Amino acid sequence: MSNPTAAMLVIGDEILSGRTRDSNAHHLAKELTIAGVTLAEVRMIADDHAVIVDAVNTLRATYDHLFTSGGIGPTHDDITADAVAAAFGVAIGVRDDAAALLSAHYERTGREFNEARQRMARIPDTATLIDNPVSIAPGFTLGNVHVMAGVPNVFEAMLASVLPGIKGGDPLLSQSLRVKRGEGDVAAPFGALAAEYPDLSMGSYPFQQNGVMGTNLVVRGTDPARLNEAMTRLAALFA
């Protein structure tokens, strides 16, 4: 009846130091909403083996799916694949299927498939590869954990490979009403309406534009008929 749940783990010192602004969490949030999977939690953590292992084990046990981003490149700070293998207690090494993809790619592009690049073929035993049409080096799915790259266009391409295989529920629909009243003026009637529709999620988001204060009232839910009914009532309240 209710939609499957998911969490995301964004892995990388560059996010927590403020050097890089993550965009993958927002992209995943939008895509899962369309797919009917409830994103319940996002965690951003450092490139630290013990921290990654602990977060992977907590989140994969709590939610139906866990998506990770970052830390699967060729350099010494790319430690996600090994940490995920450790979290599951399975072995990891350079795997033939991943190495074949990569060695063909580097042969085609005239670059050396050196030891550092072979690191990107390290895949935990029993994991299935996630296709990477952008830069070939694959992600992988192990159990309910989907391990993907941090570079946004690669993350997005990998997610597009993974999502069709995930059974979603009903897409989360949303409608919004923009009213030129302060949040404090709409709060009482809006809250009363929300209490009548416990199956819908209602939120209010204030804005200021050209000196005009107002509030966006957003109603979310999976049943289009209920959503329409609530929006009709909402529009009447603030007509």
Residue numbers at the binding site for a second copy (CB under 8 A):
10, 12-23, 25-33, 38-47, 73-77, 111-112, 114-117, 119-120, 151, 172, 174, 182-188, 190-191, 194-195, 201-206, 218, 220
Which residue, 76 or 89, has its beta carbon nearer to a second copy? Answer: 76
Query: 120 exposed, middle or buried (CB, 10 Å; 0-12, 13-18, 19+)?
Result: buried
To a second copy, the closest distance from the beta carbon of 87 in angstroms equals 17
Q: How far is the CB of 205 from a second copy (least distance, A)?
A: 7
Cα gap 147→167, rounded to integer Å: 18
Q: Contact at 8 Å (CB) between 67 and 159?
A: yes
Q: Which is nearer to a second copy, 32 or 147 (CB)?
A: 32
168 φ/ψ angles, rounded to the nearest 5 degrees: -95, 175
Residue closer to a second copy, measured from CB, 6 or 92:
6
Give the DSSP H or E segment for 49: helix 49-62
CA gap 46, 12 in Å, rounded: 5
Closest contact distance (angstroms) between CB of 116 and a second copy is 3
CB of 213 to a second copy, least distance (A): 9
Q: Contact 148/80 with Cβ under 8 angstroms?
A: no
Is 129 or 202 the residue whose CB approaches a second copy more closely? 202
Find all residues with CB under 8 Å of 238, minimum gap 6, and list them. 177, 179, 181, 186, 189, 217
Q: How far apart are the first and last CA of the chain?
A: 35
Smallest distance from a second copy to CB 126, Å: 26
Please say which residue, 33 or 161, places its beta carbon nearer to a second copy.
Answer: 33
Q: How far from the centroid of its chain's Cα atoms is residue 197's Cα?
A: 28
Q: Which is nearer to a second copy, 90 or 173 (CB)?
A: 173
As measured in angstroms, the least distance from the Cβ of 66 to a second copy is: 14
